[in-house]
Chains A and B, each alone.
Chain A
Amino acid sequence: MIRFEKVSKVFRGSSGTVKALDDVSLWIPEGSIYGVIGSSGAGKSTLIRCANLLERPTAGRVVVDGRDLVQLSPADLRNARRDIGMIFQYFNLLANSTVYENIALPLKLAGEKAARIEETIAPLLELVGLEDKRDSYPSQLSGGQKQRVAIARALASQPKVLLCDEATSALDPKTTVSILNLLRDINRKLGLTILLITHEMEVVKSICDQVAILSDGQVVEHNDVESFFLNPQTDLAREFVRAAVHEKPIEDLPAGIQKEQTEGSHPVLHITFLGNSTVQPLITQAARQFNLDFSIIQADMETVHGKTMGFLTVEVVGDELNAKSAQAFLRKHDLQVEVAGYVC
């Protein structure tokens, strides 16, 4: 539905040039929720703003619903933008207009008649749960309600794509969950393709189907969300996953952990797995079969993309070769096993 093809964006300023996007290629399938994650300054906002040409790429193509936006005339681009809704971190509502007038704005811009506008807005107010706020002004609403108005406004022109630029970053955790649920609902009910950018893994974990990591303007890794959490390929991805599952970095664990194996040290393993029923018996079996002691340093269960995932850090005490065989055994049973370090 959205295809970034070798998109680059260079900003030229008084303080030199910044390459905000560096040859980014991504494909966002129709009907999916696609998350782009990255640290601040990674180029996320620039990327999502290229998806409706609020930012014009220096090079590359941006194809949305079969149209290369870069090639369009100003008038055609405005038409194409009506099929691309967008919501923002700070909502961007008209302060002096009511909820109703705000939602009506894209329809008025498109020259719709008042009766038609009324027809469109009533169900939207219901969808976002704001029927009773129709004549309120944004200043009378909470952050979550404002974002709901912005969502209704973005949906008013019945777009095929919704772009979300850090849409929950200004909201508290509880409100974030309710907005994410709303986005999930919309995605399912309307079949809307959602591209969102965020620096919060929580967002990726709970609603995204696919994810890409951006770093210094480059896509470092992209995958479906399950595989991404189970088996991150790059250090940066691992770092994001660890933070998301509340796993302490290895350096912060009780003293004595080192990167290198030394005489008499034993390994500390990160074990990641899908589902929770089979793990306990597998570890018990490995301990018995290879005559080892597994002691759990930390353990966490998380729901990722609607599935339960477990994240364990264990110290394996016993014979070195047996410990290696135990790892192979666990891997054979579909657990992700990675040596985090060694303790004495």
Chain B
Amino acid sequence: MSAESWVLIWESLLETIYMVAVSGAISALVGIPLGVLVHITRPDQILARPVLHRVLGVVVNAARSVPFIILMVAIIPLTRLLAGTSIGTTAAIVPLSIASIPFVARIAEGALNEVPGGLIEAAEAMGATPFQIITRVLLPEALPGLIHGMTLTLVTLVSYSAMAGAIGGGGLGDLGIRYGYQRFDPVIMLATVVVLVVVVQLIQSAGEKLQARCEHK
């Protein structure tokens, strides 16, 4: 493979990392609080609001059931509004974030549901405020589950970012399609796939290590 090809792959890799990192961070910053909200509004939880809980649940599920490729096209006006353009890596961050927020929220809710109710009661008995219960009990106890969820999210984002690449988003997926498929250069296509596999492996094993370090069950 030529030096030129290596440069192409390197640049595409950086673009992929950029898209995945930024949309991953946004999805955590919005998705985890949303998951907390869905959790604590459950009828048996500290901020029981059954109606709000149900509405949030429906919204999260609806957002999750839209196929990414359709979501990406459907929200182009919003993307243009937020990113100023609808093509390129920065533009791709908008649909990637919007697709992963409900995913993270659902996973966070699941991790929070695993925290035993007795712990919440113990904290209430100590005079904890609802906010303290969230920050001192719920989140620390759910941390391993949250890390597991974020690992899944990042892996999913890598493959979504490849799809986003296909409609002009840049990154490894874009490179694979342009060179491998359209110009029929199997070497670059193969190299792209190998790099993607390595990226996913790295995310997965880093996530598992981090999770094991916080888990003391």
Q: Which of B112-164 contact A (CB under 8 A)?
A: 116, 118-119, 121-129, 132, 136-137, 140-141, 143-144
Q: Which residues of A contact B143 (CB under 8 A)?
A: 96
* Contact between chains at A84 and B125 (CB < 8 Å): yes
| Interface presence of B209 (CB below 8 A) | no
CA distance A97 to B216 in the complex (A): 8
CA distance A137 to B132 in the complex (A): 21
* Contact between chains at A81 and B127 (CB < 8 Å): yes
CA distance A157 to B126 in the complex (A): 9
Q: Contact residues of B with A, CB < 8 Å?
A: 116, 118-119, 121-129, 132, 136-137, 140-141, 143-144, 214-217
19 further interface pairs, Cβ-Cβ under 8 Å (given A82-B127, A92-B121): A54-B121, A81-B126, A86-B122, A86-B125, A88-B118, A90-B118, A92-B118, A95-B141, A95-B216, A105-B123, A105-B136, A106-B127, A109-B126, A109-B132, A109-B136, A137-B216, A138-B216, A139-B217, A157-B126
Given contacts A92-B118, A92-B119, A137-B216, contact A106 B126 (CB under 8 A): yes
| Interface presence of A110 (CB below 8 A) | yes
* Contact between chains at A94 and B121 (CB < 8 Å): no
CA distance A94 to B216 in the complex (A): 10
| Interface presence of A218 (CB below 8 A) | no
| Interface presence of A246 (CB below 8 A) | no
* Contact between chains at B140 and A78 (CB < 8 Å): no
Query: Of all chain A residues, which has the CB nearest B121?
Result: A54
CA distance A77 to B122 in the complex (A): 15
Given contacts A54-B121, A108-B136, A109-B136, contact A95 B217 (CB under 8 A): yes
CA distance A96 to B141 in the complex (A): 6
Q: Which residues of A contact B129 (CB under 8 A)?
A: 78
| Interface presence of A79 (CB below 8 A) | yes
Query: Of all chain B residues, which has the CB nearest A159?
Result: B126
| Interface presence of A193 (CB below 8 A) | no
| Interface presence of A46 (CB below 8 A) | no
* Contact between chains at B126 and A96 (CB < 8 Å): no
Query: Of all chain A residues, which has the CB nearest B217?
Result: A95
CA distance A9 to B66 in the complex (A): 47
| Interface presence of A176 (CB below 8 A) | no
Contact flags A75-107 to B (C-beta < 8 A → 1, else 0): 001111110111010101111110000000110
Query: Of all chain A residues, which has the CB nearest B215?
Result: A96
Query: Of all chain B residues, which has the CB nearest A108?
Result: B136
Name the residue among A86, A88, A93, A96 with the largest chain B CB count within 10 angstroms: A96
Those 3 A-B pairs whose CB atoms lie nearest each other, nearest first: A137-B216, A81-B127, A78-B127
Q: In the assembled complex, how far is the CB of residue B148 from the closest CB belonging to chain A, in whole angstroms?
A: 13
Q: Which residues of B contact A86 (CB under 8 A)?
A: 122, 125
Task: Pick the contact of A78: B121, B128, B141, B217 (CB < 8 A).
Answer: B128
| Interface presence of A272 (CB below 8 A) | no
Q: In the assembled complex, how far is the CB of residue A164 from the closest CB belonging to chain B, in whole angstroms?
A: 12
Interface residues of A toward B: which range? Answer: 20 to 34
Q: In the assembled complex, how far is the CB of residue A67 from the closest CB belonging to chain B, in whole angstroms?
A: 13
CA distance A273 to B141 in the complex (A): 53
Query: Of all chain B residues, which has the CB nearest A87?
Result: B122
Q: In the assembled complex, how far is the CB of residue B26 from the closest CB belonging to chain A, in whole angstroms?
A: 26
CA distance A95 to B103 in the complex (A): 26
Given contacts A94-B141, A97-B140, contact A109 B125 (CB under 8 A): no
Q: Which residues of A contact B136 (CB under 8 A)?
A: 105, 108-109
Q: Can you list 6 A-B pairs with a CB-CB distance of less than 8 A?
A: A78-B129, A81-B124, A81-B127, A86-B122, A94-B137, A95-B141
* Contact between chains at B132 and A96 (CB < 8 Å): no
| Interface presence of A198 (CB below 8 A) | no
Q: In the assembled complex, how far is the CB of residue A142 from the closest CB belonging to chain B, in whole angstroms?
A: 16
* Contact between chains at B121 and A79 (CB < 8 Å): no
Task: Pick the contact of B125: A81, A95, A96, A139 (CB < 8 A).
Answer: A81
CA distance A247 to B214 in the complex (A): 52
* Contact between chains at A54 and B216 (CB < 8 Å): no
Q: In the assembled complex, how far is the CB of residue A77 from the closest CB belonging to chain B, in whole angstroms?
A: 8
| Interface presence of A215 (CB below 8 A) | no
Query: Of all chain B residues, which has the CB nearest A140?
Result: B216
Q: Which residues of A contact B214 (CB under 8 A)?
A: 96
Q: Which residues of A contact B215 (CB under 8 A)?
A: 96
| Interface presence of A32 (CB below 8 A) | no
* Contact between chains at B140 and A52 (CB < 8 Å): no
* Contact between chains at B217 and A79 (CB < 8 Å): no
* Contact between chains at B116 and A96 (CB < 8 Å): no
CA distance A153 to B156 in the complex (A): 42
Q: Which residues of B contact A105 (CB under 8 A)?
A: 123, 126, 136
Q: In the assembled complex, how far is the CB of residue A104 from the closest CB belonging to chain B, in whole angstroms?
A: 10
* Contact between chains at B140 and A96 (CB < 8 Å): yes
Given contacts A54-B124, A84-B125, A139-B216, contact A96 B144 (CB under 8 A): yes
Q: In the assembled complex, how far is the CB of residue A64 from the closest CB belonging to chain B, in whole angstroms?
A: 13
CA distance A92 to B137 in the complex (A): 11
CA distance A54 to B128 in the complex (A): 12
Q: Which residues of B contact A157 (CB under 8 A)?
A: 126-127
* Contact between chains at B127 and A94 (CB < 8 Å): no
CA distance A106 to B137 in the complex (A): 11
Query: Of all chain B residues, which has the CB nearest A97?
Result: B140
